[in-house]
Amino acid sequence: MADKNGFFDLSKTTLSRRTALKGIAAGAGLALAPGFVRYSQAQSSAPIRIGFQSHRTGIGAAYGRWYEKTSAAAVKAINDAGGISGRKVELVIEDDGTDPARGAEVVNKFAKQHKTDIVFGTLFSHVVIGSAPAAGENKIPYFVVSEGHHVASTKLNRYVFQPGITDVKSQIQSMAPWIAANAGKKVTQIFPDFAFGYDHRDYLPPALKAQGADVIAQIAIPPTESSFTKYFPQIPAETEVIYHVMVGPAVLTFVKELGEFYGSQRPQLFGFMDSLEAVDINSPGLEFLDGSHFWEGSPRYAQPDDSAAQKAYRAAVGIDDNGAAVGDPKDISTASHMFGCWETLYVVKKAMEDAGYKGPEDRAKLVEATEALKEFAEGPEHPQGPKTFNGKIHQCFGIQNISKVEGGKLKVVHKTKIEDGLYEPEGDYTTQAL
């Protein structure tokens, strides 16, 4: 192609002295602008800036949107009550595309360019695993709301925390007794073929074994798959329970095709709510789910025994009694997970206030103060329920809900105890250097 305008002709693009002077002048002007120096004079009154690594695009986008809504509501509540140590809180949002490589770039950007105080908010486990090294290198505390076991496994680093949502290993361990006792003893597992799914793959069989039940087949499905019928023949005929946990935009297809395949002659179903997050359980084709059971982190539907804190939390985030956005009944939330953003931000507030946190130079103090936390009482700051926190493995432990689909709603039929989900720590982050 002819280069008519000479864009690629280097001889025409040499920097003239005039251009160079203009550039320098503009740069100096920016540096002198009032906004640029404001915070360096008044460190103590400047807002605390929280870098929010959000799944705005990619397979996690539906979660990302609700994580942002919940976090915005929590920040507003914190600011209305005086902020953190009297300083306002401000969210700086960057999209990671639900992609591990971009996740690491985003963490670097927060640390080096935005210079945020911490990084927060990641859900998808492969993004967390991909981003954690960047957080460690930059020595910036990284508070994830991911549910995976990777934080608690102590395979990441000292700067990564998960204080607002329980991990899969703990969830499985506390629910296995209920599954074995109420659903059936021969279990077939269907899970997404990446880190989060592997937690289910690895921890369910031993947990069920301890209860006298067996996993008879394990079916891994790529997270970007859009058609599922082809996997169902792998489900052994003697299966009593199908244990399903799927993620990504095709979850509704998955459940629908399962219904077409089995009709009313289905085995018992036990699903993680992940299989239906942001999806209306009354969507056409999902009728066969009636009577099946789901794990829920925090119940999607308002329950008769909801605490005042739970009600206040739902109102603040803007979800109605059916777990949909107020004013748009078709906009279903990711209620099972997003409460973790709310609770994590309150943990950050507590830890920063305990540490006397002033700015990025106090990040190490913040890590130690977070590790020193022991428990979080149920209340407006922790509406999902009480939690304990193990500072050695940077992971909280809490209650789980098992809900039954009844009349087009999810009704909580069983709540586990915190002790049900405790396990022996696999390591100790506090021995790592800061």
Token couple for 173: 């361990």
Among 48, 50, 52, 65, binds other proteins (CB under 8 A): 65
377 is a site residue for other proteins (CB under 8 A): no
Q: Based on CB atoms, which residue is closest to other proteins, 254 or 376?
A: 254
Q: CB of 224: closest distance to other proteins in angstroms?
A: 8
Q: CB of 283: closest distance to other proteins in angstroms?
A: 5
Q: Are 325 and 333 in contact (CB under 8 A)?
A: yes
Q: How far is CA 406 from CA 275, 289, 403, in A?
A: 17, 9, 9
SS3 category, 293: strand
Q: Based on CB atoms, which residue is closest to other proteins, 242 or 251?
A: 251
Token couple for 10: 């280097």
Q: Which stretch binds other proteins (CB under 8 A): 75-83, 133-141, 256-264, 354-362?
A: 256-264
- What DSSP assignment string belongs to 301-358? S--TT--HHHHHHHHHHTB-TTSEETTEEEEE--HHHHHHHHHHHHHHHHHHHHHT--
Q: Based on CB atoms, which residue is closest to other proteins, 96 or 420?
A: 96
Within 13 A of 393's CA, how many CA atoms are on the CB side?
23
Q: Based on CB atoms, which residue is closest to other proteins, 44 or 264?
A: 264
Within 13 A of 337's CA, how many CA atoms are on the CB side?
31
Among 206, 222, 329, 356, binds other proteins (CB under 8 A): 222
139 is a site residue for other proteins (CB under 8 A): no
329 is a site residue for other proteins (CB under 8 A): no
- Name residue 404's amino acid: K
251 is a site residue for other proteins (CB under 8 A): yes
The footprint of other proteins on this chain (CB under 8 A) covers a number of residues equal to 35
Paired residues of 401 in beta bridges: 296, 415
Q: Which stretch binds other proteins (CB under 8 A): 84-92, 132-140, 199-207, 248-256?
A: 248-256
Q: Based on CB atoms, which residue is closest to other proteins, 63 or 203?
A: 63
d(CA 270, CA 173): 14
Torsion angle, CA of 5/11/14/19, rounded to 10 degrees? -40
Q: Which residues ranging from 279 to 308 are in contact with other proteins (CB under 8 A)?
A: 279, 283-285
Q: CB of 57: closest distance to other proteins in angstroms?
A: 6
Give the helix/strand (H/E) hosting 272: strand 268-272
SS3 category, 141: coil
Q: Are 73 and 316 in contact (CB under 8 A)?
A: yes
Token couple for 43: 């460190």
Q: Based on CB atoms, which residue is closest to other proteins, 118 or 278?
A: 278
Q: Which stretch binds other proteins (CB under 8 A): 4-12, 38-46, 61-69, 312-320?
A: 61-69
Q: Based on CB atoms, which residue is closest to other proteins, 219 or 309?
A: 219
End-to-end CA distance of the chain: 55
Q: Based on CB atoms, which residue is closest to other proteins, 226 or 432?
A: 226
Among 39, 46, 56, 302, binds other proteins (CB under 8 A): 56
229 is a site residue for other proteins (CB under 8 A): yes
Identify the burial level of 16 via C-beta atoms within 10 angstroms of its C-beta, where 0-12 means exposed, 13-18 middle and 19 or more buried.
exposed
214 is a site residue for other proteins (CB under 8 A): no
Buried b (16+ CB within 10 A) or exposed e, 355-369: bebbebeebebbbbb
Q: Based on CB atoms, which residue is closest to other proteins, 285 or 386?
A: 285
Q: Based on CB atoms, which residue is closest to other proteins, 2 or 10?
A: 2
Token couple for 93: 């949002």
Q: Based on CB atoms, which residue is closest to other proteins, 134 or 250?
A: 250
260 is a site residue for other proteins (CB under 8 A): yes
Among 19, 45, 113, 226, binds other proteins (CB under 8 A): 226
Q: Which stretch binds other proteins (CB under 8 A): 115-123, 140-148, 251-259, 337-345?
A: 251-259
Q: How far is CA 64 from CA 139, 198, 333, in A?
A: 25, 22, 11
Length of the chain: 434
Q: Are 149 and 169 in contact (CB under 8 A)?
A: yes
Q: How many helices (H) and strands (E) does the chain have?
A: 11, 17
Q: CB of 232: closest distance to other proteins in angstroms?
A: 8
263 is a site residue for other proteins (CB under 8 A): yes
Among 48, 62, 104, 319, binds other proteins (CB under 8 A): 62
Among 50, 51, 58, 73, binds other proteins (CB under 8 A): 58
Q: Are 71 and 91 in contact (CB under 8 A)?
A: yes
Q: CB of 223: closest distance to other proteins in angstroms?
A: 12
Q: What are the residues binding other proteins (CB under 8 A)?
A: 1, 56-59, 61-62, 64-65, 222, 224-227, 229-233, 237, 249-253, 257, 260-263, 278-279, 283-285
